[in-house]
Amino acid sequence: MADIHKLEKIAKLIRYWSLVSTTEAGSGHPTSSLSAADLMTGLLFGGAFRFDADNPKHPNNDRLIFSKGHASPLFYSLWLAAGKVTGQEMMTLRKFGSPLEGHPTPAFTYTEAATGSLGQGLSIGVGMALNAKYLDKLPYRTYVLLGDSEMAEGSQWEAMEIAAFYKLDNLVGVLDVNALGQRGETMYGHDLDVYKKRVSAFGWEPIVIDGHHLPQILTAYEQAGRVHDKPVMIIAKTEKGKGVSFIEGKNGWHGKALKKDELLRALEELGPLDITVRGEMQRPDDLKPENRKPEKAKPLSYAWDKPVSTRHAYGTALERLYPQYPDIVVLDAEVSNSTFAEIFKKTWPDRFFEMYIAEQNMVGAGLGLSLRGKVAFVSTFAAFLTRAFDQIRMSQYSDSNIKFCGSHAGVSIGVDGSSQMGLEDIAMFRTILNSVVLYPSDAVSAEKLVEEAAKHKGIVYLRTTREDTPIIYRNDEVFRIGGSKVLKRNTKDVATVVAAGITLHEALAAYEELKKDGIFIGVIDLYSIKPIDVQTLTKAALDTGMTITVEDHFPEGGINEAVRSALAGVPVAIHSLAVRNMPKSGQPRELLDYEEISRKSIIKKVKEIL
Amino acid sequence: MADIHKLEKIAKLIRYWSLVSTTEAGSGHPTSSLSAADLMTGLLFGGAFRFDADNPKHPNNDRLIFSKGHASPLFYSLWLAAGKVTGQEMMTLRKFGSPLEGHPTPAFTYTEAATGSLGQGLSIGVGMALNAKYLDKLPYRTYVLLGDSEMAEGSQWEAMEIAAFYKLDNLVGVLDVNALGQRGETMYGHDLDVYKKRVSAFGWEPIVIDGHHLPQILTAYEQAGRVHDKPVMIIAKTEKGKGVSFIEGKNGWHGKALKKDELLRALEELGPLDITVRGEMQRPDDLKPENRKPEKAKPLSYAWDKPVSTRHAYGTALERLYPQYPDIVVLDAEVSNSTFAEIFKKTWPDRFFEMYIAEQNMVGAGLGLSLRGKVAFVSTFAAFLTRAFDQIRMSQYSDSNIKFCGSHAGVSIGVDGSSQMGLEDIAMFRTILNSVVLYPSDAVSAEKLVEEAAKHKGIVYLRTTREDTPIIYRNDEVFRIGGSKVLKRNTKDVATVVAAGITLHEALAAYEELKKDGIFIGVIDLYSIKPIDVQTLTKAALDTGMTITVEDHFPEGGINEAVRSALAGVPVAIHSLAVRNMPKSGQPRELLDYEEISRKSIIKKVKEIL
């Protein structure tokens, strides 16, 4: 049993640094840190947490995620108490260039994932726990510190239900019920029974404790370690600002650092402090996952004469490539028979996780898996990826390796109508720092780009089409991120049509029609929208003086604006064919015409220009 | 008590049309429609639902929302049974130009809100119920048909918790537990107890029934009408495809229309049908809300010498304007002391709803409120509006009137760091069809634009800044949607700097510095990013030959790309200063320099160009 007296000293040290660092910074969240100080001290130094701090990436380390990321002063102080951060470093909190940012980021060695947008940590934990239980088959546990206010986020309940469904008994939520949100009391205050009932109803094992009573805290972690087949939620009654009487449990102190005079009063209250005390963490067993040896994937063998949808190619690509990329794991949100992730699932069921209709959690879990070394492919309809934009946004601030696939792009999905049409997804993914945005037009390029995505380190978005489309490329064609394909080119070109996906086929059809009238157009397959092939686009623009972009996407933020940015400074007229009318149900052909992104519209536009 | 026999005939009619219309369309979701046919027949024609079908917008009509929007054949068939849709019209299901789209849209008269992206209907219902109970003070009820698969969506649990918190006993969920999702069994199949426990834990009153037993169904609606202070969830055990033996309860039939021969078999099974049977709906009491008379709002009275943040101006504007726009209602997600929605809340607490940390539900509720005639202002940090992109996206397909305010835009929020920085929000809102995107630079223009937003019919996004910024405009200055302000202009201008929000002040500071060196730049305040002032931008571009955009936003989809699109065809060089480096904690000034969007960077860029 741990030395309670020593743990109390460590908790006091942590309170000290949480207060001092935020006062030095002039901002931060000391009261949110103080409420969880005992919970976290008990976890890291009371014997439950098994972590080799000299090897933070060790595959069998327990994981600690601060879903309530604003408690970063607590987070950094814990690692100071572990001997890994100095007092001098603590004083750089929130300063420009310091790894101790306002909310935890990978700039700080021990951050598992960037947090700070509330309600996302539990999903990341689900990913890490799925990895431990089903993929790496290692005994590490994942602990997630949760705030009570953020339990209002639906994403947390997605994580809850999926964790219970997958029997993640290696996942422990630590719920810091301090009853005060940012602007006032939470909906339930200190009514722990509300949380207990909900947590139980969602299939978790609740353990209710006084969050400032170290013996109870330690017992809770021990109990948690003995629960089988269910995740555990430690529901801890705490006081925001605990340890400093004039802020303890008082509204109005969220996100406020103490002023210097207030700090002095607070430190007086804390009393005598052993500033040198440090805690010991248990070491994990030195276990590593068994890694599958890569074997070369089968090559492509598409026949010229059989159209295949790029969404189908996504599925066959994953299924074919997995042996060569054995870190791949695939997630889908109840639409795998539409995205064709099911093709992968049928052959490699142990590497596939059904995430049900809960896209936010799916993305968070994908992040968690990728942070544990997996190459996470995450799919649903392009339109429904917007459900998880905040999770996608936050994933860019971690060292993530997630490949998103959005199917059913554009109005060309047809009769299902607007709710199912992805029309803003290219814009969404283009905003992600250093993202790769790919939009293959045929099954060959789709499979090749899935492989490029698998090889690439970072966030990739692959947009796929519902309709079967003709094979354009040879099975041995090479596609690279940042490349494009010039499919038609002639010195007589009056314009260059830049398209991708479904509209690339429209452009090729327009080419054939116009040729009959003796009019030639260049056609470029812009399968890599980001990074974009500036060189090829520039050359074509200069040669023809006229660029027409055609996209099954809204006008803003998509292919046209990407091309405009790429052609900055090039003296060329750039025209935009895109979805400008209210989308609706109809046959794909009718809708492409209605939205003026069809072969007819391309022909019309070219003739207009002439 | 209703005539059960007649209701059975109506239910059969509805099954008939659900099957026939989807077979005719060659697509659609008949099995999802059949499972809820009895539930909905009992609701509309069994006496519970009070609706004047000749006045669908009557303020005291009960509301019916199909959260499971794919059951649209059922929805349209119900209105056929009510005598408002003909058989001929049913046969146009999913055809281009028909109001009977694949998922319900406002093209069809009785659609309350466009649905089809699952898990959003309950939030819309929350908005309508809040309206009934607290604003209009009318006795109408809001019924939401829910699928079991979509209860995996976290957004539904946000709606559940908020509905219980606000004691919405005028909200009734009808949960169609047919146990089969799109690609297989749901997580819980027919285990109704799971739903019952969760629903109870979330503070709702559960009523568990056999979803095909009309007497039980009718009793459930009666019971629901007698529950006080809690919303009600009718949990109905159903069979997908009920009524047709070879599809009933069988996997693999989601989203599949019957082929012609299958349809014939199915209709044989349905048996003799009275194709002329129609149902009667109860009429609502002819009650109308008491509308407050508009009174002129107090005018602005900002002093020149006191900087005020635009986020603060958002709050004071709403507070000041409400008497003149008494349909305004304000929602915020636990950050009202940061967005300053709290200023409105203090004066008009009856028109403010705290929505807690649950942005998805907040947006859905805002939609619901706006559909009932309110002007809904919905605020949180710009970054956190990405949490609700799917709800924002769907709201464009309804006749919505929502004004979004995203505060804490950009890196200039400072030390809190990347998780809190809105850097993709302009791109997100620009993709919304017919959206208005506004980004005021000072408190005067912020207040004026809040008023323009209130007057405008449709979706508006207002981006606000954390920092206090100087007052630039006179209190009587006029701002219009689609306008801009030329703040500096000289025939000697070597470039035009186009900026908004915080960077507008950087541009003005750069102007003063450059002037000392005898270099002149034009400065345009692009407070209306969409629609954009093409004319003014074009003139300035032609006059100076050089346009530099500066934005506290990622490069994609924001001000620069909006300006490029606006200046299509204008021979001008356009340069982009935007956030291109990994955002991090730091002082605002440090971050503006680091991201090269500061006055120093503008000066440097201008000198580079020369």
Please give the residue of chain B at the shortest CA–CA distance from A568: B574
Q: Cβ A94–B197 below 8 Å, yes or no?
A: no
CB of B420 less than 8 A from some CB of A: yes
Most A-contacting residue of B93, B156, B157, B166 (CB-CB within 10 A), to test interface:
B157
Report how far residue A540's alpha carbon sits from residue B35's, in angstroms, rounded to the nearest whole number.
56
Pairing verdict, β A436-438 and A528-530: antiparallel
Question: Edge-to-edge, what's the strand order for the sheet holding A402-407?
Answer: A352-354, A328-332, A375-381, A402-407, A460-463, A436-438, A528-530
Using only C-alpha atoms, chain A has a radius of gyration, in whole angstroms, of 27
Q: What angle do CA B79, B125, B143 make, to 5 degrees?
A: 45
CB of A484 less than 8 A from some CB of B: no
Report how far residue B482's alpha carbon sits from residue B489's, in angstroms, rounded to the nearest whole number.
20
**Beta-carbon neighbour count of residue B347 at 10 Å?**
15
Tell me the β-bridge partners of B409.
B422
Q: Name the pLDDT band for A371 (thresholds 50, 70, 90).
A: very high
pLDDT at B1: 60
Most B-contacting residue of A585, A591, A598 (CB-CB within 10 A), to test interface:
A585
Report how far residue A586's alpha carbon sits from residue A565's, in angstroms, rounded to the nearest whole number.
33
Report how far residue A160's alpha carbon sits from residue A176's, in angstroms, rounded to the nearest whole number.
16
Report how far residue A248's alpha carbon sits from residue B387's, in angstroms, rounded to the nearest whole number.
31
The alpha-carbon gap from B585 to the nearest alpha carbon of chain A, in Å, equals: 5
Q: Name the pLDDT band for A88 (thresholds 50, 70, 90).
A: very high
The tokens describing B406, both together, are 């995203």
**Beta-carbon neighbour count of residue B272 at 10 Å?**
6
Average pLDDT value for residue range A511-521: 98
Report how far residue B380's alpha carbon sits from residue B386's, in angstroms, rounded to the nearest whole number.
10
B94 contacts in chain A (CB < 8 Å): 415, 417, 585
The alpha-carbon gap from B144 to the nearest alpha carbon of chain A, in Å, equals: 18
CB of A565 less than 8 A from some CB of B: yes
B569 contacts in chain A (CB < 8 Å): 573
- Give the torsion through C-alpha atoms of B514, B515, B517, B519, to 10 deg: 80
The tokens describing A537, both together, are 């686009």
The alpha-carbon gap from B601 to the nearest alpha carbon of chain A, in Å, equals: 18
Report how far residue B210's alpha carbon sits from residue A92's, in angstroms, rounded to the nearest whole number.
63
Query: What are the b/e assignments for B490-513, b being 16+ CB within 10 Å?
Result: eeebbbbbbbbbbbbbbbbebbee
Instruction: Note which residues in 101-140 of chain B have CB less than 8 A from chain A.
Output: 101-103, 105, 107, 114-119
Instruction: Name the residue facing A390 among B27, B386, B584 (closest C-beta).
Output: B386
User: Collapsing DSSP states into helix, strand and coil, what is residue A66?
Assistant: strand
pLDDT tens-place string over residues A219-265: 999 999 999 999 999 999 999 999 999 999 999 999 999 999 999 99
pLDDT tens-place string over residues B205-253: 999 999 999 999 999 999 999 999 999 999 999 999 999 999 999 999 9
Q: What is the mean pLDDT of chain B?
A: 97
Instruction: Name the residue facing B342 among A103, A183, A415 (closest C-beta).
Output: A183
pLDDT at A1: 60
Please give the residue of chain A at the shortest CA–CA distance from B149: A357
Report how far residue B358's alpha carbon sits from residue A150's, in angstroms, rounded to the nearest whole number.
8
pLDDT at B569: 85
Report how far residue B315's alpha carbon sits from residue B405's, in angstroms, rounded to the nearest whole number.
10
The alpha-carbon gap from A286 to the nearest alpha carbon of chain B, in Å, equals: 34
CB of A467 less than 8 A from some CB of B: no
Report how far residue B136's alpha carbon sits from residue B146's, in angstroms, rounded to the nearest whole number.
25
Most B-contacting residue of A407, A418, A546 (CB-CB within 10 A), to test interface:
A418
B105 contacts in chain A (CB < 8 Å): 417-418, 584
Report how far residue B582's alpha carbon sits from residue B573's, in angstroms, rounded to the nearest whole number.
27
pLDDT cut 70: percent of chain A above it: 100
CB of B451 less than 8 A from some CB of A: no
CA distances in angstroms from B345 to A185, B200, B329, listed in the order given: 16, 31, 10
CB of B562 less than 8 A from some CB of A: yes
Please give the residue of chain B at the shortest CA–CA distance from A591: B96
Contact between A522 and A510 under an 8 Å Cβ cutoff? The reply is no
pLDDT tens-place string over residues B24-51: 999 999 999 999 999 999 999 999 999 9
CA distances in angstroms from B455 to B376, B451, B459, listed in the order given: 12, 6, 11
Report how far residue B16's alpha carbon sits from residue B34's, in angstroms, rounded to the nearest whole number.
9
Instruction: Name the residue facing A419 among B116, B153, B354 (closest C-beta).
Output: B116
Q: How many CA atoms lie within 13 A of A185 on its CB side?
A: 7
A562 contacts in chain B (CB < 8 Å): 556
Instruction: Tell me B552's DSSP state.
Output: S
Most A-contacting residue of B21, B68, B96, B151 (CB-CB within 10 A), to test interface:
B96
Instruction: Name the residue facing A557 among B152, B200, B427 (closest C-beta).
Output: B427
Q: Cβ A427–B115 below 8 Å, yes or no?
A: no
The tokens describing B25, both together, are 């369309």
Question: Amino acid identity of B473?
Answer: Y
Average pLDDT value for residue range A20-31: 97
Most B-contacting residue of A392, A400, A416 (CB-CB within 10 A), to test interface:
A416
Predicted confidence (pLDDT) at residue A405 exceeds the cutoff of 80: yes
Instruction: Note which residues in 40-69 of chain A have CB less than 8 A from chain B.
Output: 69
Q: Which of A422-431, A464-473, B568-577 has the lowest mean pLDDT?
A: B568-577
The alpha-carbon gap from B287 to the nearest alpha carbon of chain A, in Å, equals: 33
pLDDT at B183: 87
pLDDT at A569: 85
Residue spans of chain B under pLDDT 70: 1
A194 contacts in chain B (CB < 8 Å): 201
Please give the residue of chain A at the shortest CA–CA distance from B418: A397
Q: Which residue matches tokens 């956030």?
A: B579
B389 contacts in chain A (CB < 8 Å): 386-387, 389-390, 424, 428
A158 contacts in chain B (CB < 8 Å): 152-154
H or E stretch covering B523: strand B520-525
pLDDT tens-place string over residues A548-581: 999 999 999 999 999 999 999 898 999 999 999 9
Contact between A586 and B95 under an 8 Å Cβ cutoff? The reply is yes
Please give the residue of chain A at the shortest CA–CA distance from B118: A357
Predicted confidence (pLDDT) at residue A324 exceeds the cutoff of 70: yes
B107 contacts in chain A (CB < 8 Å): 584
Catalytic residue among B24, B153, B205, B359, which?
Answer: B359
User: Collapsing DSSP states into helix, strand and coil, what is residue B234?
Assistant: strand
User: Is A359 tagged catalytic?
Assistant: yes
Instruction: Name the residue facing B94 among A117, A359, A585 (closest C-beta).
Output: A585
Average pLDDT value for residue range A388-406: 97
Question: Amino acid identity of A39?
Answer: L
Please give the residue of chain A at the shortest CA–CA distance from B253: A337
Contacts for A515 with CB less than 8 Å, ≥ 6 apart: none
Contact between B36 and B71 under an 8 Å Cβ cutoff? The reply is yes
Catalytic residue among A101, A153, A239, A359, which?
Answer: A359
Report how far residue B134's alpha carbon sits from residue A22's, in angstroms, rounded to the nearest whole number.
41
Cβ contacts below 8 Å, chain A against chain B, sum to 318
The alpha-carbon gap from B452 to the nearest alpha carbon of chain A, in Å, equals: 23
CB of B182 less than 8 A from some CB of A: yes
Report how far residue A360's alpha carbon sits from residue A392's, in angstroms, rounded to the nearest whole number.
9
pLDDT tens-place string over residues B357-399: 999 999 999 999 999 999 999 999 999 999 999 999 999 999 9
